């Protein structure tokens, strides 16, 4: 399994502990990173005494699980000469998972960062219902019964030197009208395609693609119902809770079908090479990427980053936002917590991940509190096809660009298949 790691800058935090000392603390790499066995997690912190005389420095390291449970406390002290420094090292053992580490001195927090250990060892078993496969087969049949009514409208103000821009309209489940954004290479030929899915609540956006592959790929940005280019005509209220009590009409049942409809559209393009369609997106777009890949076997490879909507049982414990939003809505609808979790199991990316059989590249922000790394790996670890991941140690709900852009395009090129004959 290939693993990639990016370094980040060391923070400098000044802390005056007494009139006799002026300490500067330097948390050293690999602080804020992750380890795999047999490496043992170790965090170092260097203390510099900028004061006029020797002084004793006391440092505490507290480690909590990502669920907020206390795990370890370590205390060290050292007398540091004026103008000199010392390094304190803290080694410890961890189970697979992610953890929050806090360096403090007295009542002052020096540094706080998340770390990880053996993320591929995180196991959160699938919890789908016996009729899970049949449920999604019905959803796809529902989509197939709707005439797509694809239409392309030139949008020349978004053209580039190498590609022409279009707005695309179509019909999805419930005859919902959707608008997306398309870039077609100007040069005649047949091309692979990238379908992009957008984050939760995204507004209209265009040309969210790399100049580095402009003119080499068809680029289609699928906008699901009520979001993106469809936001101005949104009738769905708070998307996440629409029809929460009714799995056959729940928002994400239909939104996941919107994602599949985007794949349908790409296959109608005469400029498409007939086989190489790749899916990518972040946050909700990462969830849609994985859902579309699970439910549509035409996708060749997928690249989600910081994917949303995964592992609801643990997600509710890790994130106040999603737990309170869904539980409050469920209570208003007269649902028990058991009924809520049963319904959400149909739309849990962790469960859909078990259906994926093509290569996947996933990116994770180690400091992400919106889509915590634990939830990312809960689904990733249930994928049985070739896969790899990138962890960005200093990133929250996002990735490092252009590194991620270059990485996922290289990944797509790696799995490119011969084009079909016309």
**Within a domain: 422:** no
**Within a domain: 254:** yes
- Predicted pLDDT of residue 2: 37
CATH number reported for the structural domain that contains residue 108 in this entry: 2.60.40.2550
**Whether 93 and 136 share a structural domain:** no
pTM, 2 dp: 0.93
Domain limits for position 17: 3-121
**Whether 255 and 358 share a structural domain:** yes
pLDDT tens across the length of the chain (422 residues): 434 333 333 333 334 333 345 788 887 655 569 999 999 999 999 999 998 999 999 999 999 999 999 999 999 999 999 999 999 999 999 999 999 999 999 888 988 999 999 999 999 999 999 999 999 999 999 999 999 999 999 999 999 999 999 999 999 999 999 999 999 999 999 999 999 999 998 888 887 666 788 999 999 999 999 999 999 889 998 999 999 999 999 999 999 999 999 999 999 999 999 999 999 999 999 999 999 999 999 999 999 999 999 999 999 999 888 999 999 999 999 999 999 999 999 999 999 999 999 999 999 999 999 999 999 999 999 999 999 999 999 999 999 989 999 999 999 999 999 998 87
Strand partners, 334: none
**Within a domain: 420:** no
Tokens coding 337:
């917590």
**Whether 103 and 228 share a structural domain:** no
Q: Which long-range contacts (CB under 8 A, 24 or more apart) does 9-15 make?
A: 9/394, 11/111, 13/110, 13/111, 15/105, 15/108, 15/110
**Whether 143 and 262 share a structural domain:** yes
**Whether 253 and 371 share a structural domain:** yes
Give the separation between CA 360 and CA 353, rounded to whole angstroms. 10
Residue where a domain stops, chosen among 121, 156, 180? 121
Q: How far is CA 60 from the centre of its chain?
A: 32
Q: Which long-range contacts (CB under 8 A, 24 or more apart) does 205-211 make?
A: 205/181, 206/155, 206/158, 206/165, 206/181, 207/158, 207/160, 207/165, 207/183, 209/183, 210/402, 210/405, 210/409, 211/160
**Within a domain: 37:** yes
Give the separation between CA 64 and CA 71, rounded to whole angstroms. 5
**Whether 186 and 267 share a structural domain:** yes
**Within a domain: 70:** yes
- Predicted pLDDT of residue 30: 57
**Whether 349 and 383 share a structural domain:** yes
Q: Are 17 and 57 in contact (CB under 8 A)?
A: yes
Beta strands in 186-263 (DSSP E): 191-197, 218-222
**Within a domain: 328:** yes
Tokens coding 20:
């006799």
Q: Are 224 and 199 in contact (CB under 8 A)?
A: no
- What is the phi-psi region of residue 149: left when phi exceeds 0, alpha when psi lies from -120 to 50, beta otherwise? left
- Predicted pLDDT of residue 206: 80
| φ, ψ at 194 (rounded to 5°) | -115, 125
**Whether 148 and 222 share a structural domain:** yes
**Within a domain: 421:** no
**Whether 48 and 175 share a structural domain:** no
Residue where a domain stops, chosen among 81, 98, 121? 121
**Within a domain: 126:** no
CATH number reported for the structural domain that contains residue 388 in this entry: 3.40.50.1820
- Predicted pLDDT of residue 209: 64
Tokens coding 192:
């692979």
**Whether 89 and 137 share a structural domain:** no
- Predicted pLDDT of residue 5: 36
Tokens coding 24:
């500067």
**Whether 112 and 149 share a structural domain:** no
Structural domains of the chain, count: 2
Residue where a domain stops, chosen among 56, 86, 121? 121
CB atoms within 10 A of CB 74: 15
């Amino acid at each position: 399994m290939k693993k990639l790691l990016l370094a980040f800058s060391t923070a400098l935090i000044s802390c005056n502990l007494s009139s006799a000392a002026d300490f500067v603390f330097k948390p050293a790499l690999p602080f804020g990173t992750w380890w795999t066995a047999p490496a043992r997690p170790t965090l170092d912190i260097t203390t510099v005494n900028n004061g006029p005389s020797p002084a004793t420095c006391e440092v505490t390291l507290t480690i909590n699980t990502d669920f907020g449970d206390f795990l370890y406390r370590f205390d060290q002290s050292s007398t540091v000469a004026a103008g000199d420094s010392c390094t304190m090292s803290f080694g410890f053992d961890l189970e697979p998972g992610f953890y929050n580490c806090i360096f403090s001195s007295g009542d002052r927090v020096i540094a706080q960062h998340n770390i990880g250990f053996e993320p591929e060892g995180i196991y959160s078993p699938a919890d789908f219902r016996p009729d899970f496969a049949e449920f999604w087969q019905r959803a796809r049949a529902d989509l197939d019964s709707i005439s797509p009514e694809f239409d392309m409208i030139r949008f020349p103000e978004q053209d580039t030197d190498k590609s022409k821009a279009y707005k695309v309209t179509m019909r999805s489940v419930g005859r919902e009208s959707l608008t997306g954004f398309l870039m077609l290479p100007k040069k005649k030929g047949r091309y692979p395609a990238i379908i992009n899915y957008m984050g939760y609540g995204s507004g209209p956006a265009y040309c969210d693609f790399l100049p580095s592959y402009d003119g080499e790929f068809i680029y289609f940005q699928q906008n699901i119902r009520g979001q993106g280019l469809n936001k101005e005509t949104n009738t769905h209220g708070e998307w996440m809770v629409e029809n929460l009590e009714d799995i056959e009409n729940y928002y994400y049942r239909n939104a996941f079908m919107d994602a599949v409809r985007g794949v349908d559209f790409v296959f109608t393009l005469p400029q498409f090479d007939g086989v190489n369609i790749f899916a990518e997106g972040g946050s909700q777009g990462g969830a849609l990427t994985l859902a579309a890949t699970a439910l549509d076997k035409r996708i060749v490879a997928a690249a989600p980053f910081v994917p949303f909507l995964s592992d609801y049982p643990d997600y509710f414990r890790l994130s106040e936002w999603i737990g309170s939003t869904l539980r409050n809505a469920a209570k208003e609808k007269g649902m028990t917590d058991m009924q809520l979790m049963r319904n959400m199991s149909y739309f849990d990316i962790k469960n859909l991940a078990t259906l994926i059989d093509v290569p996947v590249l996933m990116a994770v922000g180690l400091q992400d509190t919106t889509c915590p790394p634990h939830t990312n790996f809960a689904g990733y670890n249930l994928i049985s096809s070739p896969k790899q991941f990138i962890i960005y140690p200093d990133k929250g709900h996002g990735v490092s660009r252009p590194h991620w852009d270059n990485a996922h395009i290289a990944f797509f090129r790696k799995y490119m298949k011969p084009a079909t004959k016309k």
